[in-house]
Amino acid sequence: MKTRRAKIAEIIAAMPSTPSEIARTLDLSVKVVIEDLKHISRSKKYGKLVVQPARCLKCGYTFKAEIKVPKKCPSCRSTWIEEPRFLLIPL
């Protein structure tokens, strides 16, 4: 049996994915996925976690590359946000 984190690592090693996509694929909550991604980023055994930052789809504002899903654009207040994508690069 693979652990939940190993399954998440496998998904993002294959293709950059958003927390919602990962949550849907593994039938988890986004909150759990975010917690696991933080853990994966601190662990050496999965590889290097790369964050493609979230972006506001209304004004183009680029968020900081963080392991979280922003709710609202600080620039234009829009909630039309493209989630960050995460991928793993083998070390």
Under rule CB under 5 A, residue 82 binds Zn ion: no
Under rule CB under 5 A, residue 75 binds Zn ion: yes
* Whole-angstrom distance, CA of residue 38 vs CA of residue 68: 9
- In the list 53, 61, 69, 82, the residue contacting Zn ion (rule: CB under 5 A) is 61
- In the list 59, 64, 65, 89, the residue contacting Zn ion (rule: CB under 5 A) is 59
Q: For residues 29 and 78, which CB has a smaller minimum distance to Zn ion in the complex?
A: 78
Under rule CB under 5 A, residue 39 binds Zn ion: no
DSSP string for residues in 27-89: T--HHHHHHHHHHHHH-STT-EEEEE--EETTT-PBPPS-SS---S-TTT----EEPPEEEEE
Please choose, from the candidates 50, 57, 52, the residue with its C-alpha nearest in 3D space to the C-alpha of residue 75: 57
Under rule CB under 5 A, residue 56 binds Zn ion: yes
Residue numbers at the binding site for Zn ion (CB under 5 A): 56, 58-59, 61, 73, 75-76, 78
